[in-house]
Amino acid sequence: MPAAYDLPDFDAHEGVHLFHDRPTGMTAIIAVHSTALGPAAGGTRFWHYADSNDAVTDALRLSRGMSYKNAMAGLPAGGGKAVILADADRTKTPDLLAAFARAVDSLGGRYITAQDVGMSEADMVALSQVTRHVAGLPGLGGDPGPSTAKGVYLGVCAAVRRALGRDSVRGVHIAVQGVGSVGGGLVRLLAADGARLTLADVDGARAAALAGELGAAVAPVDAIMSLDADVLSPCALGAILTPDSIAALRVAAVAGGANNQLATEAQGAQLAARGILYAPDYVINAGGIINVLRHMGQGGDAEVEARIAGIPDRLEAVWAESATTGETPAQVADRMAQGLIGRG
């Protein structure tokens, strides 16, 4: 495994911590990107990686994204991310979770963990029995999915206004990639507004069941990104906007909940060159972390809801500056976020 600071996605991270617990086999990476605005906050991902280098890259990219996301949302938190390297069977035991919680605790509060892919609210409760550096517990944010979905929904509506000049998503064709906690919540909100939906998910049965419930269409996973639609909403894993996939897009806008949608920075320019509006992922999908970090200087439900409701305004500010400067929305958002964490 190369040193983390030799990898392309190392971005002056304050710390990249590797942990291994021999009795349980727990192996984890905790990446702390920035604590300029507060403790590094970000979820834990439980995932099987064929190559451990991919896990390090994921932790680096996701932690940087959390720095930017928390800064743009106005939260008193820095950015961090944890990745637990699951085995091929994704075996998760109480002892393994306890070992990971001890790893989190060893950082003394520099990193606050929360729920992410492969981790449940019950897992957060289990971690909290060992370390107090856990957010998103029942009654204190809980599952971030519904709040993330609400923010993405508001962002999709904003993208429709900006790219299509329409004040409603009624009749707008939206292709949604991934219908788990976030994507599933998103499509229910869009369906209630009369959007025309096409769904795709690696779990074909889940996509089919949801489509049947909502009167939506279903597309194969390998076809959703080349579908002729108005908006593509990626709500699965990241790095799906590649040179080839962007060349095949037939939409006016990309606005979804997945993290790190751009494979590289160059893909932001590729989208712009094709005239496709892009909603920077860490701006549009901030609803979950806003809710999860409700205990950090926020004024309860009203302020949480106000911050989530502000997502379209933050996107509009990015798009307006992009139109003025000629920079891509991704470049503008990055520059804004970097300024907020003192790296401008």
**Share of residues in the chain with pLDDT > 90 (%):** 86
- Is the per-residue pLDDT at 1 higher than 60? no
- Is the per-residue pLDDT at 295 higher than 80? no
Indicate the domain borders of the chain: 4-67+77-128, 145-340
The H-or-E segment that residue 152 falls in is helix 145-164
> Domain 145-340 is classified in which CATH homologous superfamily?
NAD(P)-binding Rossmann-like Domain (3.40.50.720)
Confidence of residue 2 (pLDDT cuts 50, 70, 90): low
How far is residue 329's CA from residue 333's CA, in Å, rounded to a whole number? Answer: 6
Catalogue the E-assigned strands of the chain. Answer: 15-21, 26-34, 40-41, 44-47, 78-85, 111-112, 173-177, 196-200, 217-218, 231-234, 253-254, 277-278
How far is residue 160's CA from residue 204's CA, in Å, rounded to a whole number? Answer: 27
Q: What are 234-254's pLDDT values in tens digits?
A: 999 888 999 999 999 999 999
Name the average pLDDT for the chain.
94
- Is the per-residue pLDDT at 262 higher than 70? yes
**Residue 90 has which token pair?**
């994704």
Q: What are 51-74's pLDDT values in tens digits?
A: 999 999 999 999 999 999 999 999
Q: What is the 3-state secondary structure (H, E, C) of 178-237?
A: CCCHHHHHHHHHHHHCCCEEEEECCCHHHHHHHHHHHCCEECCCCCHHHCECCEEEECCC
Average pLDDT over residues 89-103: 97
Q: Domain 4-67+77-128 maps to which CATH number in 3.50.50.60, 3.90.550.10, 3.40.50.10860, 2.30.110.10?
A: 3.40.50.10860
Q: What are 151-210's pLDDT values in tens digits?
A: 999 999 999 999 999 999 999 999 999 999 999 999 999 999 999 999 999 999 999 999
Which residue out of 69, 81, 92, 150 is catalytically annotated? 81
Active site residue 69: no
Assess whether the region 4-67+77-128 and the region 145-340 belong to the same CATH fold.
yes
What pLDDT shows up at residue 9? 85
